[in-house]
Amino acid sequence: MTGAIVCESILEAKTKKFVIATWGTSYWRLCDRLLVNAKTKADVDARHHHVKAYTVIEGCTWQGHEMGFRVATKEAGWVHFRAGSKAEWAKWIHALLSLQTIKVRATPTISSNSTSTACDDDEVPTFACEKFQP
């Protein structure tokens, strides 16, 4: 892993197995914008081939569970999590909200003279997320 470890713990995550979404417990680590997942911490530390990595776009609280949060990734879209304690939940929320927002260029619009335009001030956050309310 490159970069400093921002947050790590064992979490419940909602994942899809074929068509069915199920909850499973595994080890998760956030290093800068890289979210890494494996069954155990030792697997992540050893960089086993079955370790999964996701690029984080942003993260926020999730109202679907008291200690829930969700993370938008480039590879898997929204991933939902449940923390085991309020302290663990707060640690992850703080780490995710500390990440700088990634901005992407908005879709170019067609002006009245049929010229496509896009400029730097067309940049918008990729995903909208609820603001953290302690």
Mean of the per-residue pLDDT values of the chain: 79
Domain assignment present for residue 133? The answer is no
Domain span at residue 121 reads: 5-125
Confidence band for 108, pLDDT divided at 50, 70 and 90: low
Question: How many domains does one find in the chain?
Answer: 1
Is 66's pLDDT higher than 50? yes
Spell out a b/e string for 96-123, using b for 16 or more CB atoms within 10 Å of the CB, else e: bbebeebeeeeeeeeeeeeeeeeeeeee
Alpha carbon distance 94, 34 (integer Å): 16
Domain assignment present for residue 108? The answer is yes
**What's the whole-model pTM score?**
0.71
What mean pLDDT comes out for the span 63-74?
A: 93
pLDDT digits (tens, 9 = 90+) for 19-46: 888 899 999 999 989 999 999 999 998 8
> Residue 33 is part of a domain; what is its CATH number?
2.30.29.30
Would you state the pLDDT for residue 7? 94
Residue among 49, 79, 77, 81 at smallest CA distance from 66: 81
Is 87's pLDDT higher than 90? yes
Domain assignment present for residue 68? The answer is yes
What mean pLDDT comes out for the span 64-85?
A: 93
Domain assignment present for residue 130? The answer is no
